[in-house]
Amino acid sequence: MDFRVLAVGDVVGAPGLERVRRNLRRMKREHKVDFTVVNGENAAVVGLLPNQAEDILDAGADIITMGNHTWGKREIVTYLDDCPRILRPANYAPQVPGRGWQVVETAAGDVAVIDLIGRCNMDYGPNNPFLLVDQILKEITARIILVEIHAEATSEKLAMGYMLDGRVSAVWGTHTHVPTADARILPKGTGYVTDLGMTGPRDSVLGIRPELSIAKFRGDLTERYRWAEGPTKLEAVLFTIDSQTGKCRKAERVDEWD
């Protein structure tokens, strides 16, 4: 039996949240989605507030993943311990709040979701995600296993995909907010894409007003980043997984743009 997983790229600001509210449940119906993972770490541009997390879950997400902006809004700190449906990177230091992976009961059996963060060009040194994911997989008995790696370097994401090929159902990347055209099945049956993209302002630089990014790169005096106005987009990948074997049969982009 097919088990269809929708992985949604980083939600940016109020426009991204509104796009999710208006469109996620419809997309799930149209694509016959069984399980949905949404990256929410930029819902407040830098971070996620508890009420924004509730909005994303109410809109149809089963799991919200985070990344390098996990602690951008400190209001989320205690919430992470209280809400098992939000994951921060598993390879953060073990003493920080929250959880980095979770097993969810579904009609097709248990589904495990693991959230990781990369180390290349990320400005700090979390634990090694390649070593940690090996340890986590020893604790998981679920047949369907989904892995997100929030990372800057495409090589790091690709290396993770190939290391986990045949051991998990799907691996996808987030963080760069730019979708990649390499959704595919790796040789041993794992669905893969280097980056999902983003959900939010269409005419923007990674969700932010272009003039603000231009000013930064010109060396001008800069302002606080604000999301762009206007049309929006939702970028995502749909993975079709055999629930009996845990192997991925199809990985396809299902982006929607205004």
Q: Please say whether the beta carbons of 45 and 12 come within 8 A.
A: yes
Confirm whether 69 is a catalytic residue. Answer: yes
Exactly one of 69, 150, 175, 177 is catalytic; name it.
69
The amino acid sitting at 190 is T
Do 105 and 113 contact (CB within 8 A), yes or no? no
Angle at 236 between CA 235 and CA 239, to 5 degrees: 165
User: Residue 51: which of 14, 19, 4 has the closest Cα?
Assistant: 14
Q: Comparing C-alpha atoms, which of 4, 111, 84, 89 is closest to residue 39?
A: 89
Q: Alpha carbon of 40 to those of 126, 175, 189: distances in Å?
A: 20, 11, 28
The pairing of strands 2-8 and 35-39 is parallel
Residue pair 15/255 in contact (Cβ under 8 Å)? The answer is no
Q: Known catalytic residues?
A: 69
